[in-house]
Structure 1
Amino acid sequence: MLNLKREDLATTAQVGHSTLFDFESGRRQPHPRTLAAIRIALEAAGVEFIAENGGGPGVRLRKSAA
């Protein structure tokens, strides 16, 4: 949906490729500042994080301005 490769996300978030891979594979937990950088990069790419509203937290693609 985003056409965003792992390498692109790592570069945009300014985190190491191995850091991102380890986080995705569950090998280690990222530091809060790493999570924040990844979140900012994903939001810049069009992801919107949704707070828990009874059904649990989630994500969706941000609506385009029409």
Structure 2
Amino acid sequence: MSIRKVSVRQIKAARALLAWSQEQLAERSSVSIPTVKRLESTDGAIGGRADTSEKLIAALESAGVIFVEENGEGPGVRLRKGGR
């Protein structure tokens, strides 16, 4: 299983699209609040353990977020058609 390359900025942007707090992301991903805060306090690729980042990504994707990979315009996020 390969680890998807998602940046901290993409995680923050995804939370903003969903109007989720760090606490809501922690709850919905089963990741501790201190871990979410620590991971979001950096920049660049999301760090930490692979299973932690996968839990965060899965929680956001299940809420309708699509992570857009680098395509010459830069990575990003958007909501699945039909919204949340």
Q: TM-score, normalised by structure 1?
A: 0.81
**Share of identical aligned residues, percent?**
43
Runs of 4+ in 1 over 6 A off after TM superposition: none
The number of residue pairs the alignment matches comes to 63
Unaligned runs of 5+ in 1: none
The 3-state SS of whatever aligns with 1:53 is coil
In our comparison, the structure showing a higher alpha carbon Rg is 1
Unaligned runs of 5+ in 2: 1-16
**Structure-1 residue corresponding to 2:81:** 63
* Separation (CA, whole Å) in 2 of partners of 1:46 and 1:4: 12
Higher relative contact order (CA 8 A, sep 6+): 2
CA root-mean-square deviation: 1.5
